[in-house]
Amino acid sequence: MRVSTGRAIQSDSRMFTVVVEGFGIGRQRQAERRFTVPYNQLQGLMQSIAQQGGRIRAVLGADGAGGDTPAAAPAPAAPAPKAKAKAAPTKPAAVSHADVPVNLYKPKDPFIGTVTENYSLLADGAIGRVNHITFDLKGGDPQLHYVEGQSIGIIPDGTDANGKPNKLRLYSIASTRHGDNLAGDTVSLCVRQLQYEKDGETINGVCSTFLCDIEPGAKVKITGPVGKEMLLPADEDANVIMLATGTGIAPMRTYLRRMFEPSEREKNGWTFKGKAWLFMGSPTTANLLYDDDFNRYQAEFPDNFRYTKAISREQQNASGGRMYIQDRVSENAEEIFSWIENPKTHVYMCGLRGMEPGIDEAMATAAAAKGLNWAELRPQLKKAERWHVETY
């Protein structure tokens, strides 16, 4: 799926400086900027510049005497004929997701998967109910496969109030493409049972309750996979900021397993060399999901992974109120924006839709402190496919 060229060019130590105009965020777009990178990062940098509408004025390589010599530069005149078109495009280039599977199984003809395990993710004293559920995907024609950041649909058994079959619900996948068993034939979900009060009565969500109650061996109708919004960049040197609340941790778990789980790193042929930063929001410590794994990654990869928690009912923000994820964003705003200024940085947000306004306000305040307009910056990041949001 993602083919790394890192091994093939590992021995090339040449350094190149890329001179760029009209690139960056806010005031940076007005000035000429220079980025110096090794040869194996050159192509990725140029693609990032092109996607954000930057103009590459020159690519300079270090000569034997240590001076800079032009390696390539687009001519300022009229566009070259198609046969000679070598200059980087000035408009954002469309990213190809042709190899991403979509809608292999549809609601009218779903795949029938088998539950292999279903267990609670919560510690004693937690609020609510959240389970990790795994399905066997063997026997499909075609094989139901997926990549990190996608979702699948579940059609719960039974009928609705009108006697019609229950409709499907979408859930973010919580396992990598290899599955938790690394055999490539399972998929896992992180499901919170939906409960709400109506007219003094507690109402349980149809599909979430169906899944939390389901027993190993049961058959389940599965559709998909779907989604291209939350896909990881192919660049092994990318930086990834993750903002999650509750079961919004599902796609973040797939990214972090792909990046840092030893068995995954050995299997996937994609060796993450960048930096990852997870901001996780939870009401209590007992409600933190996959916390042991993330703490282990932080201990084993301290130079590549940071894990910041916002535990609302146990921690206080600077004003003495409850600590929410937007408060952690505000606390770390300067460093977050230093990451965002790097064209290799991607931001992912997943969780309840109610988290968006708070994050937006925190980012706007942080941007203003640096003389930036978040209302202008966010669409730029979105257009460059560096701002990814999936809320529900």
Catalytic residue among 171, 290, 324, 348: 171
Tokens of 9: 């060019």
Q: Is 392 an annotated catalytic residue?
A: yes
| Residue 280 and residue 251 in contact, taking contact as beta carbons nearer than 8 Å | no
- Residue 268 CA, chain-centre distance (Å), reads 17
Q: Is 172 an annotated catalytic residue?
A: yes
**Alpha-carbon distance 7 to 301, whole Å?**
21
The side-by-side arrangement of strands in the sheet containing 68-72 is: 33-38, 15-21, 55-62, 68-72
Q: Is 341 an annotated catalytic residue?
A: no
| Residue 44 and residue 237 in contact, taking contact as beta carbons nearer than 8 Å | yes
Q: Is 212 an annotated catalytic residue?
A: no
**Alpha-carbon distance 207 to 44, whole Å?**
42
Catalytic residue among 255, 324, 350, 385: 350
Q: Is 324 an annotated catalytic residue?
A: no
Element (H, E) at 340: helix 333-340
| Residue 241 and residue 347 in contact, taking contact as beta carbons nearer than 8 Å | yes
Catalytic residue among 261, 264, 385, 390: 390
Give the CA dihedral 360, 283, 175, 227, nearest 10 degrees: -30
Catalytic residue among 48, 105, 148, 172: 172
**Alpha-carbon distance 352 to 132, whole Å?**
18
Which residues are tagged catalytic? 171-172, 350, 390, 392
